[in-house]
Amino acid sequence: MSKRPSGTPKLSHVDDSGRVTMVDVGDKAVTAREAVARGSIRMSAEALSQIRAGHVKKGDPLQTARVAGILAAKQTSSLIPLCHPLPISSANVELIPTKTGYDIEARVRTTGQTGVEMEALMAVSVAALTIYDMVKAVDKRMVISQIRLMKKTGGKSGTFTR
């Protein structure tokens, strides 16, 4: 591996030799932390009609997506190699109806030495993918988009709000 060029910002997951490493959070303060992420899934009028009428053959995609999002938040460190396993104190996934689909919002909390941004983003992503999976027989053109961090609190870097 080559060393990073001088003058470039140091990435927290890369050591001075350019090797990927897990950040040592052992000396960081334990603080209350929260992250909120959002995304959306857009679909055809037919797919939306079937969801809202409760006629999706596989079952209720919205309730299934909520549970899938919560499970995903809890499993983030198993899926993203450099994420720390965290004691999540709360994970909530909301599905907000829109004219063309659903906006998805996840809120994740912990008290720990590192934040839960990735857990919130994972919850939104998997909730959207779950809806896609359950409705794809009706609409394979669904679009999952704009998955992003909206807010994070706690820790050394303080508060971030989009």
Q: Which residues are catalytic?
A: 133
Name the helix (H) or strand (E) containing 118: helix 117-135
Q: Where does 31-101 have alpha helices with state H? A: 45-53, 61-74, 76-79
Which letter does DSSP use for residue 18 in this model? Answer: S
Q: What tokens were used for 24?
A: 């040592």
Q: How far apart are CA 83 and CA 121, in angstroms?
A: 12
Q: What tokens were used for 37?
A: 């992420």
Question: Strand 143-153's sheet: what is its strand order?
Answer: 88-98, 101-112, 31-42, 143-153, 160-161
The number of beta carbons lying within 10 Å of the beta carbon of residue 158 is 8
